Structure 1
Amino acid sequence: MLIAILKNLRPLVNVFSDLYFRTVYYIFNCIYFFVTKQSVKRPEDHLLLLSATKAAKLIHDGELSSVDLVDAYIERIREVNGIINAVVQNDFIKARETAHEIDDFIKNHQRSTEEYEAFFAGKPLLGVPFTLKDCIEVEGLVCSVGMTYRRDTRPDKDAIVVQRMKEAGAIVLAITNVPEVCMWWESVNTLYGRSKNPYDTRRITGGSSGGEAALIGAAGSVIGLGSDIGGSIRMPCNFNGIFGLKPTPGFVPLTGHWPAAEGYRVEMLRIGPMCRYAEDLLLVLKVLVGNELAATLQLQNPVNLRKLRLFYMEGLKTPFAQTVSFECKDAVRKAVMFFETKYDVCGIRLDLPFAHYAVEFFLLSMEVPESPSFARYMTDLTTDLNCLLELGKWVVGKSNHTLPGIIAGIIDKQSPFNEDQKAKLLAQRDRLNRELKELLLDDGILLFPSFPTVAPYHNQPLFTPLNFAYTALWNTLALPVVQCPLGLNRWGLPIGVQAVGSPGTDRLLIALARDLEDAFGGWRPAID
């Protein structure tokens, strides 16, 4: 009902919402003006500056020891984690043992022999460490999902994506922080605490893959796995200056992700790669989808970007989220100008009217009546948490749950739409989906702001909870999206852009990411 009223008063509400968001922005800037900024130090070990693709080749050629690479990242994690609180569990001992086994084989076998090549066959990531967020199951390691109820939960088998990474020779190094139940866009929970941005510890890492993005952005990991149901890969990647891909639905298996997706959420939730170097997106994606599908999708085939058709939007017009800041809008324009110049194409500016209902689309798409309530998820599906009681306990500092989680538990299952509104919104969402697929086809991409601002300050999302609409829109439309860094702003904070494609154009999006990396420099370390 509230959303319906606001919709009818939209022009007037837009004026007041803009004033509200400006007020929040200035209040938090004033508060944190008196808090000392800290960033992680630039990595000095050259091994930390190798892409996973290059590191794997060097290991194959006997020019790099897997143990040396693993040790370099262990040392880096120990150096930065006290600052950013990204790693919540490590598997250093087992990782070093696995790396030693790989090095011993290489040392004791002559290169280019059949036995040597057979050992490496099907292992494009042999000897390379990786990390992943605390909601993707790894056999024997705690999968808490940021919940006290799951603090001792150890899966007895790997998620399929973890299994495929291990089969490809990659080595699990650490598990990274998430918000409670992975349903908030600041990575904080009562079990492990708050993750901090490596470029400015006063600011958030994003969520829900925030710990993962912070660790990779701090050069504490080279590749990682995240998941994305409303921007949980792309938003943290944007805030931490790295690359991330939300693949086409159905490409990457979700088995072993907690919580499991149901209903339309299956179309929205994706597991995908996160990395500092664009070339690693393709390498990891090929592993995640499996050899058979990778061949069918022709992921290894080159992409001719000279046939690119270019579209862009500069933001959303909604009272529920901030308008895009000048510097974030300018990032989109710079990316457009780059492609226009390089490929002699004309970027076409779009204003898709239904896109401005991103918030409504997301809230509706997340409604799955047959799924457990959020209050039940908060107790690891054992019972429905009394969230009103928890709110009182939170006020006096006695709750084991976060405020965003408690609020989500209270409002969950209370739809803001009546049946007529739902039917209308579903029709609009599906129409927008059809229009975009018909527009983009297999050679078109849409550039779009990643977020209305650079990374906000801690707790600021509580006052701007729906700003994630800029990423969530593309989950509701089930389209593949790649997040690309475009450098740092004058305050040393990452800024980036999203590129959206039609289903199955992941290879095109990755090629585009590599182009943007060449043009804008890709990941850049924090300015210490």
Structure 2
Amino acid sequence: MRLIGLQIQAKSPCPSPSSPNSDFCPSFAMRRYAFIRSFYPILRFFADAYFLLADALFALYNAFQPIDQIGWASADPLLFISANKAAEMIRRGKLKSFSLISVYIARVKEVNESLNVAAHFNFEAALKEAETVDKHIGQLDEKGREELAISKPLYGVPFTAKDNLWVKGFVTVDGNKWRRKYGKPAESDAEVVANMKTAGAILIAISVLPNGGMSTACDDSVYGVAKNPHDSRRTPGGSSCGEGALISSAASLCGIGNDICGSVRVPAYANGIFGLKPTNHPQHLVSVDGIEPVELSTQQPSQRKLTNGPMCRYADDLALAMAVLAGKSVAEYAIEVDFTHQFRLFYMEDLNVLIGQRLQNEQREAVRKVRNHFEQHFNLTVQKVDFPLMSRVFELWGLDGWDPKWPNPKPLSLLASEFFQIYAGESNATFWSWEFEVLRNFVAPKDEEEKEFVVKKVEKLGRQLTELLGSDGVLLLPLWPTTIGYHHQEPFTGVFNSEYIEVPNILGLPALAAPIGPKSPTTNMPLGVQLIASHFNEALLIAVGREIERTFGGWVAPGKVPKTMINEAKEWTKAHNGE
């Protein structure tokens, strides 16, 4: 293995911003941060001590809290059929959409009682729509049913959507108290929701999210605390927390999340499912129209970093869901890859950022398990790479997030008091917006010259990555440095752990969260990895995801699913397919 990447060192003294040699530090913002970085060893020591103490205190408190896990005693075997298989069986008349929708509605009701992850229900309309589907299928001949596979590939299959997407007839609450009380029902569907409906999918529920979608936890939703199905003491991640929990609990087959800083991938990781963030820059592969607040999807820089993406229990469903959301053909994403001859894999472990928790051994081992599989099974030479600019991801995120129309950042003295207001639920701000304001105090560019400098740094990192990956390469790396945190732990540790998830949004690259079984033996929580490819190369990520599922088991189910139940589902499917 060899190291790839350019080590960029600060020059001292820094030349002027207009100097042709000012490659690294022409900006006052970067000089301020470089000054802090000069004390890295000392700061790293205190940071490690702080995180160790914070983790210990939350673990000690939660050691005395009850653990609830999702049960499976009343689960129906139909819950274990993939969306692909269910759609095929419905088209062939081997499975009634009404039966499938009924089973999922019952499961949503059961799961939501303990997890609190659904915001709105569409049960009555969903059942009526399922009856219409079954009646229509019964009137079709063989040719008509085959045509449905193209025109309506998800005909009769249930799905869920995040509660910051417009759904006609429902208030888009976005985790906000004011919207829940005064908001008006949407007059139309978000484009991605409309695409799912056009493909024949049936909406059964709308899932919760944290306030404004600005969190990788779900402790401040207007609907209350959302719980992780694997361990009720922990968060299901965020901000697409409800989608992650519903899908992992077999209360949804697939769902729509959105991702501006890991909001599809973090809950996928926390719940043991697959989550795909599509290409978001230089142009969106999947539409972001119909996301609240509207400014998020219409104004820069947020619009450039934002995207909608599919979340699925089975890797086999990613191509289908991705094609529907993007308005493309399924064949474009359901490709087969010769991993021995047409594939290159690279990997990273530590990013060595200034702040953030260190990568834990279990997360490091998950990356190495995937690396070892591709090395041994496909005889690949998997190279370890190093991009030093990634260690400055917080600077790039904060500086690239500057807009001249924004007001000056809040003073640190005000932010200190605001922290406790947020924690007490007395502020409309979130811990992520709070962290961003803190970051802007240190690194926000003061003029267009500084802004231009940071843009060049982002472009440079993008070139380094895309030149390395090309059309057949994938970068394997951690998604989160630790096990997902306990409830209310995010402001003390979680807000500092976004270094691995920010890069794809900054650069616009597609990224896949993939579960790696079995569960952690120490925490009994899912483990997972992140995969990044070049722009518009989602199909390659999906192919790698299928291989990972085949090797490591895919979906990490919460609790203990009886093997007899899964076997019964397989036997039922075979019998009704005439296999």
Q: TM-score, normalised by structure 2?
A: 0.83
Tell me which residue corresponds to 1:20. Answer: 50
- Residue 236 (str. 1) matches residue 267 (str. 2): yes
| Among 360, 383, 396, the residue aligned to 1:361 | 396
- How far is 1:149 from its partner? 1.7
One-letter identity of the residue aligned with 1:49: F
- How far is 1:412 from its partner? 8.8
Q: The residue matched to 1:189 in structure 2 has which SS? A: coil
Check whether the contact 2:409–2:441 (CA below 8 A) recurs between aligned residues.
no
- How far is 1:224 from its partner? 0.3
- Per the alignment, do residues 113 and 505 of structure 1 end up closer, same or farther by CA in structure 2, a change over 3 Å counting? closer
Tell me which residue corresponds to 1:210. Answer: 241
Tell me which residue corresponds to 1:8. Answer: 38
One-letter identity of the residue aligned with 1:146: G
Give a deviation string over 1:155-210, Cα, whole Å, max 9, x none: 10011111111110001111111111111111233521111100001001111101
Distance (whole Å) between structure 2 residues aligned to residue 34 and residue 398 of structure 1: 24
Tell me which residue corresponds to 1:102. Answer: 133
Rg larger in 1 or in 2? 2
Give a deviation string over 1:376-430, Cα, whole Å, max 9, x none: xxxxxxxxxx9999878768x6837465378469659756334476554433222
| Among 349, 354, 362, the residue aligned to 1:319 | 354
Tell me which residue corresponds to 1:378. Answer: none
Give a deviation string over 1:53-88, Cα, whole Å, max 9, x none: 010001011111101111111111111111111101
Tell me which residue corresponds to 1:140. Answer: 169
- Which 5+ residue runs of structure 2 have no aligned equivalent? 1-28, 561-579
Alignment of 1:491-510 (within 5 A): 491-510=523-542
Tell me which residue corresponds to 1:448. Answer: 477
- How far is 1:432 from its partner? 1.1
- Residue 437 (str. 1) matches residue 483 (str. 2): no
- How far is 1:98 from its partner? 0.3
| Among 22, 26, 40, the residue aligned to 2:70 | 40
One-letter identity of the residue aligned with 2:71: K
How many percent identity over aligned positions?
A: 36
- How far is 1:18 from its partner? 1.4
Check whether the contact 2:173–2:179 (CA below 8 A) recurs between aligned residues.
yes
| Among 304, 307, 312, the residue aligned to 1:270 | 307
- Per the alignment, do residues 233 and 315 of structure 1 end up closer, same or farther by CA in structure 2, a change over 3 Å counting? same
One-letter identity of the residue aligned with 2:473: G
Q: The residue matched to 1:194 in structure 2 has which SS? A: coil
Distance (whole Å) between structure 1 residues aligned to residue 465 and residue 316 of structure 2: 27
Tell me which residue corresponds to 2:510. Answer: 480
Tell me which residue corresponds to 2:443. Answer: 416
- How far is 1:154 from its partner? 1.4
Tell me which residue corresponds to 1:303. Answer: 337
Check whether the contact 2:238–2:267 (CA below 8 A) recurs between aligned residues.
yes
Distance (whole Å) between structure 2 residues aligned to residue 173 and residue 71 of structure 1: 10
Q: TM-score, normalised by structure 1?
A: 0.91
- How far is 1:516 from its partner? 0.1
Tell me which residue corresponds to 1:381. Answer: none
Distance (whole Å) between structure 2 residues aligned to residue 239 and residue 217 of structure 1: 10
- Residue 330 (str. 1) matches residue 365 (str. 2): yes
Check whether the contact 1:190–1:401 (CA below 8 A) recurs between aligned residues.
no
One-letter identity of the residue aligned with 1:515: E
Q: The residue matched to 1:485 in structure 2 has which SS? A: strand
Distance (whole Å) between structure 2 residues aligned to residue 141 and residue 374 of structure 1: 35
Alignment of 1:367-446 (within 5 A): 367-370=402-405, 399=426, 401=428, 404=431, 407=434, 414=441, 416-419=443-446, 422-446=451-475
- How far is 1:504 from its partner? 1.7
| Among 176, 187, 191, the residue aligned to 1:156 | 187
Q: The residue matched to 2:531 in structure 1 has which SS? A: strand
- How far is 1:132 from its partner? 1.0
Q: The residue matched to 1:328 in structure 2 has which SS? A: helix
One-letter identity of the residue aligned with 2:405: E
| Farther-moved stretch of structure 1 (270-279 vs 422-431) | 422-431
One-letter identity of the residue aligned with 1:65: K
One-letter identity of the residue aligned with 2:372: M
- Residue 251 (str. 1) matches residue 285 (str. 2): yes
Check whether the contact 2:213–2:238 (CA below 8 A) recurs between aligned residues.
yes
- How far is 1:26 from its partner? 1.1
Distance (whole Å) between structure 2 residues aligned to residue 251 and residue 231 of structure 1: 17
| Among 104, 107, 110, the residue aligned to 1:79 | 110
- Per the alignment, do residues 332 and 99 of structure 1 end up closer, same or farther by CA in structure 2, a change over 3 Å counting? same
Distance (whole Å) between structure 2 residues aligned to residue 475 and residue 191 of structure 1: 27
Distance (whole Å) between structure 2 residues aligned to residue 499 and residue 256 of structure 1: 28
Q: The residue matched to 1:456 in structure 2 has which SS? A: coil
Two-structure CA RMSD over aligned residues (Å)? 2.5
- Residue 286 (str. 1) matches residue 323 (str. 2): yes
Q: The residue matched to 1:272 in structure 2 has which SS? A: strand
Distance (whole Å) between structure 1 residues aligned to residue 70 and residue 434 of structure 2: 33
Check whether the contact 1:145–1:181 (CA below 8 A) recurs between aligned residues.
yes
- How far is 1:476 from its partner? 1.0
Q: The residue matched to 1:267 in structure 2 has which SS? A: helix
Tell me which residue corresponds to 2:160. Answer: 131
Q: The residue matched to 1:193 in structure 2 has which SS? A: coil
- How far is 1:351 from its partner? 1.8
Q: The residue matched to 2:464 in structure 1 has which SS? A: helix
- How far is 1:279 from its partner? 1.0
- Residue 61 (str. 1) matches residue 88 (str. 2): no
Q: The residue matched to 2:516 in structure 1 has which SS? A: strand
Q: The residue matched to 1:89 in structure 2 has which SS? A: strand
- Per the alignment, do residues 341 and 59 of structure 1 end up closer, same or farther by CA in structure 2, a change over 3 Å counting? same
- How far is 1:364 from its partner? 2.1
- Per the alignment, do residues 431 and 402 of structure 1 end up closer, same or farther by CA in structure 2, a change over 3 Å counting? closer
Tell me which residue corresponds to 1:520. Answer: 552
One-letter identity of the residue aligned with 1:518: R
Give a deviation string over 1:349-396, Cα, whole Å, max 9, x none: 112111111122222232234369999xxxxxxxxxx9999878768x
- Residue 200 (str. 1) matches residue 235 (str. 2): no
Distance (whole Å) between structure 1 residues aligned to residue 452 and residue 323 of structure 2: 38
Check whether the contact 1:190–1:400 (CA below 8 A) recurs between aligned residues.
no
- Per the alignment, do residues 387 and 7 of structure 1 end up closer, same or farther by CA in structure 2, a change over 3 Å counting? closer
One-letter identity of the residue aligned with 1:255: D
Alignment of 1:336-347 (within 5 A): 336-347=371-382
Distance (whole Å) between structure 1 residues aligned to residue 194 and residue 111 of structure 2: 28
- Per the alignment, do residues 285 and 407 of structure 1 end up closer, same or farther by CA in structure 2, a change over 3 Å counting? same
- Which 5+ residue runs of structure 1 have no aligned equivalent? 376-385
- Per the alignment, do residues 445 and 389 of structure 1 end up closer, same or farther by CA in structure 2, a change over 3 Å counting? closer
| Farther-moved stretch of structure 1 (301-310 vs 386-395) | 386-395
| Among 158, 167, 179, the residue aligned to 2:210 | 179
Distance (whole Å) between structure 1 residues aligned to residue 417 and residue 345 of structure 2: 52
- Per the alignment, do residues 336 and 118 of structure 1 end up closer, same or farther by CA in structure 2, a change over 3 Å counting? closer
Q: The residue matched to 1:271 in structure 2 has which SS? A: strand
Check whether the contact 1:4–1:417 (CA below 8 A) recurs between aligned residues.
no
Distance (whole Å) between structure 2 residues aligned to residue 14 and residue 394 of structure 1: 27
